[in-house]
Amino acid sequence: MQTITDPAAMRAWARARRAEGRRIGFVPTMGYLHRGHTSLMDLARPRCDALVVSIYVNPLQFGPGEDLDRYPRDPEGDARKCAEHGADVLFMPPDLYAPGHATTVHVAGLTEGLCGAHRPGHFDGVTTVVARLFGLVKPHLAVFGEKDYQQLATVRRMVEDLAMDVEVVGAPLVRDADGLALSSRNAYLSPAERARALSLSRALRAMREAAEAGEREAAALVAAGRARLDVDRLDYLEVRDARDLRPVEVIEAPARALVAAWIGRTRLIDNMPLGPTAP
């Protein structure tokens, strides 16, 4: 595995692979890699000839007072995991934006509710960095986890609207044995906080079970989920259309339950498909 830190060198590498007719797969990350990230690499690997993993903690997607300064890092461990999971290139730029960078990519609509309502500017930061990374890595396919369900939908919309020639692949969310959705931010949790964090997946499971038992009213499903939550602050617990994330009152098509909540100083998100016809 080769490590590239210079954006211009990354672009030159990508141009050369494309000239050879090789299919480039891409997994963008912010590092502190766990099994959720390596599952994205495992999904991409057989679908491409050359796999690039990027690690860049993107300041544009953090708001004031968020955890940019304390975001966990483990460059050596990350490099080992990338090599073990078949990456050809680890792209770790110290910075990604040239001085004078003046462009923001904004996806309207999809980014307004859920996390967008609680993290102003977050999704603009995500789409701007992903667009720039796509320009440098030139992937044929890119894998994003369903853990960040709104992010995945937003990136899909950007790619479609801007006619970017990239196949976006969604990868299933990965959980620990006790049900906690894997996240780099789980590292912030004390053992007592971690125990309470399990209430997010319990709430979503309760909603799924109620939907499977025939409940179709979103308000009733949310009430079933809320009763299981043990959090310090709830940003949202909602039922949305699984494809376009429109708010849903009565489930008639594949839907998704989504939650974001704070345990102490840590904000966690999770989601689950609802109903037997869920994707």
What are the catalytic residues?
A: 37
Q: How far is residue 260's CA from residue 231's CA, in Å, rounded to a whole number?
A: 10
Residues 142-181 that bind ligand PAF (CB under 6 A): 148, 151
7 touching ligand PAF, by CB under 6 A: no
137 part of the interface to ligand PAF, by CB under 6 A: no
Q: Which of 4, 40, 130, 137 binds ligand PAF (CB under 6 A)?
A: 130
What's the rounded Cα separation, in Å, for the pair 265 and 163?
39
> Interface with ligand PAF includes 126 (CB under 6 A)?
yes
Size of the site for ligand PAF (CB under 6 A): 10
Binds ligand PAF by CB under 6 A, chosen from 4, 10, 30, 153: 30
Under 8 Å between Cβ of 27 and 143? yes
Distance CA 10, CA 192 (A): 43
Alpha helices per DSSP H over 92-169: 115-118, 122-137, 149-161
Question: CA torsion, points 101, 107, 111, 116, in degrees to nearest 10?
Answer: 10
**Spatial contact of 154 and 123, defined as CB atoms under 8 Å apart:** yes
Provide, rounded to whole angstroms, the least separation between the CB of residue 21 and ligand PAF: 27
Residue choice 14, 29, 111, 206 for contact with ligand PAF (CB under 6 A): 29
Only one of the segments 22-30, 82-90, 158-166, 217-225 lies at the binding site for ligand PAF (rule: CB under 6 A); that segment is 22-30
- Whole-number minimum distance, CB 67 to ligand PAF, in Å? 13
Of 7, 25, 28, 170, the one binding ligand PAF (CB under 6 A) is: 28
Residue 277 — φ and ψ, nearest 5°?
-95, 5
β-sheet with 255-263: strand ranges across: 233-241, 255-263, 266-274
In this complex, which beta carbon is closest to ligand PAF, that of residue 27 or of residue 248? 27
Q: Is 36 in the site for ligand PAF (CB under 6 A)?
A: no
Which residues here bind ligand PAF, judged by CB under 6 A?
Answer: 28-30, 58, 61, 126, 129-130, 148, 151
